[in-house]
Amino acid sequence: MPVFDFHTHTTISDGHAAPLEMARRCQQNGYAAYVCSDHVDEATVERRVPEIVAACLLASRELGMASIPAVEVTRVPPERVARVAARARSLGAQLVVVHGETLGDYPQPGLNLAAARCPDVDILGHPGLITDEAAEAARENHIHLEISAAGLHGLTNGHVARVAIRLGVELVLDSDAHRPEALLTAERANQVLRGSGIDLATVLKIAADAPLRVLARRGIELPT
């Protein structure tokens, strides 16, 4: 089973390894592509997105691996999420994750709903105790909700899974890795999804089909 992971971090923001090192480990772990999605906010988006784009070009050239520049819009007030997401995309980010209302740090009320209503967002990361209203907005805008393999961010995986399945919202699994050893393997991906209370058939759908829909929405094609 190829591993997809749309949420990883490097030394471009607060990660502990250079992008090329993370890409190498992704390749070793059987990832179908490397996605570099470092944190950006209003103060850093102009500087970091070009760095992310350059890092992905280097990884593609050095490793022969599909590498996709992305961002995680982090700690931006709800009313300004759309502006930062649009700017990141205009600078070359092909995918946009938003740091949702996780219980793992300090959730910003209204952030999930703002992100779920934004057409430039692809994934609502670790959305915590997401409401039906926000989940329904995500469904209407074809935004995936994240099941997180990252420690405290995964505290509400069961809730996120139940809400998403009940309301017909797409789910995707991500590592939110800040170190190479935290990246997913096929075995770990299966464990996190099953541990979230998701049945085997849905696990396989999330692992195999959902990432392709994330990519297809933006017209991103992987080499065959």
- Does any domain span residue 224? no
Is residue 9 assigned to a domain? no
- Supply the pLDDT for residue 107: 84
Tell me the two tokens of residue 68: 């996709």
What's the pTM value of the predicted model, to 2 decimals? 0.97
Predicted local distance difference test score (pLDDT) of residue 2: 63
Residue 5 within any structural domain of the chain: no
Domain CATH for 203:
3.20.20.140
Query: How many domains does one find in the chain?
Result: 1
Domain extent, residue 196, equals 19-217
The answer to the question of residue 148 being in a domain is: yes
Low-confidence ranges of the chain (pLDDT < 50): none
pLDDT of residue 1: 55
Number of H helices, E strands in the chain: 9, 6
Residue 167 lies in a domain: yes
